[in-house]
Amino acid sequence: MRVFVAGGSGVMGRRLVPLLVARGHQVTATTTTAAKLPLLEELGAEGVVMDGLDGAAVGEAVAAARPDAIVHQMTALSAGHSGKPNPRRPDRFFAATNRLRSEGVDHLLAAAEATGVSHLVAQGHASMNGGRSGGWVKTEDDPLEVVEGTRAITHLEQAVVAAGGAVLRYGGFYGEGAHDDQVHLIRKRLVPIVGRGTGHVSWVHIDDAAEATVLAVERRAHGVFNIVDDEPAPVSEWLPYLAGCVGAKPPRRIPVWLARLLAGEMAVGALVEGRGFSNAKAKRDLGWRLRYPTWRQGFKEALA
Ligand SMILES: NC(=O)c1ccc[n+]([C@@H]2O[C@H](COP(=O)([O-])OP(=O)(O)OC[C@H]3O[C@@H](n4cnc5c(N)ncnc54)[C@H](OP(=O)(O)O)[C@@H]3O)[C@@H](O)[C@H]2O)c1
- Structural domain spans, the chain: 2-178+203-230+277-291
pLDDT at 122 over 80: yes
pLDDT surpasses 80 at 45: yes
Instruction: Identify the CA nearest to 10 among candidates 221, 129, 170, 157.
Output: 170
The CA dihedral of 27, 31, 36, 41, to the nearest 10 degrees, is: 10
**Which residue out of 28, 32, 129 has the highest number of ligand 1 atoms within 8 Å of its CB and is therefore the one to mutate?**
32
CB of 32 sitting under 6 A from ligand 1: yes
242-283 pLDDT per residue, tens: 999 999 999 999 999 999 999 888 889 999 999 999 999 999
Q: Which amino acid is at 289?
A: R
Nearest CA to ligand 1 atom 27: 76
CB 209 within 8 A of CB 173: yes
**How far, in Å, CA of 155 to CA of 150, rounded?**
9
Query: What is the pTM for the complete model shown?
Result: 0.97
Return the minimum-mean-pLDDT range out of 8-17, 83-92, 115-124. 83-92
> Which residue is closest in CA terms to ligand 1's atom 44?
178
Angle between helix 295-303 and 235-245 (nearest 10): 20
pLDDT of residue 204 exceeding 90, the answer is yes
Query: What is the average per-residue pLDDT within 119-147?
Result: 94
Q: How far is CA 206 from CA 177, 223, 227, in A?
A: 9, 21, 10
Q: Is the CB of 173 under 6 A from ligand 1?
A: yes
Q: Is the CB of 98 under 6 A from ligand 1?
A: no
pLDDT for 147 equals 80
| DSSP conformational letter for 178 | T
Phi–psi pair at 226, nearest 5 degrees: -80, 120
Beta strands, E only, the chain: 2-6, 26-31, 46-49, 69-72, 120-125, 137-138, 166-170, 172-174, 193-194, 200-201, 203-205, 223-227, 233-234, 253-254, 276-277
- Contact by Cβ (8 Å): 213, 113: no
pLDDT for res 193: 97
Q: What's the topology of domain 2-178+203-230+277-291?
A: Rossmann fold (3.40.50)
pLDDT band at 146 (very low <50, low <70, confident <90, very high): confident
Mean pLDDT of 14-40: 98
Share of the chain above pLDDT 70, in %: 100
